[in-house]
Amino acid sequence: MSKKSLFLVLIQFACFAFFALDGHLFAKGSLLIIQILGVGIGLWGIAAMRIGNVNIQPEVKPNAVFVSSGPYKIIRNPMYSGILIFFGMSVINHFTLLRLAILLLLATVLLMKIFMEEQFLIEKFGIRYEQYKQKTHRLIPFIF
């Protein structure tokens, strides 16, 4: 893992720790339902990728396989989408400027990881990944 990747992963998990320890991890009411949907999207991404292929760092594993089924038919990063949905609902339900800042930091880190990972995936899978990128969005179906 490169130093940049390690730094991004550490910041990502520091953001997770902040939300886990601040006492307001779970939303209430309909926002909790949306949180659960976020978890479901993330778990669907893990299941489609197969747990052994999941990688917390942007670098692609040497034995990586190209996955374009399940949620990957629509978005390229369903696990990150699920994370942002989950913590986004938590911030909306228990809003403070600090929690919003941590969420924005987390989103920035995930975007940086996505951009790095895409370069590695292009190197590994070439035109196949380029074509896949043209048919899908990064995080939000039909938008981004």
Q: What residue spans define the domains of the chain? A: 3-57+69-135
**Residues 13-39, mean pLDDT to the nearest whole number:** 97
Largest CA distance in the chain: 46
Can you tell me which residue has the tokens 């896949």?
A: 132
Contact between residue 81 and residue 139 where contact means Cβ atoms under 8 Å apart: yes
- Residue 79's pLDDT band (cuts 50, 70, 90): very high
Q: How far apart are CA 26 and CA 22, in angstroms?
A: 11
Can you tell me which residue has the tokens 């886990």?
A: 20
pTM: 0.93
Give the pLDDT score at 95: 98
Give the pLDDT score at 52: 80
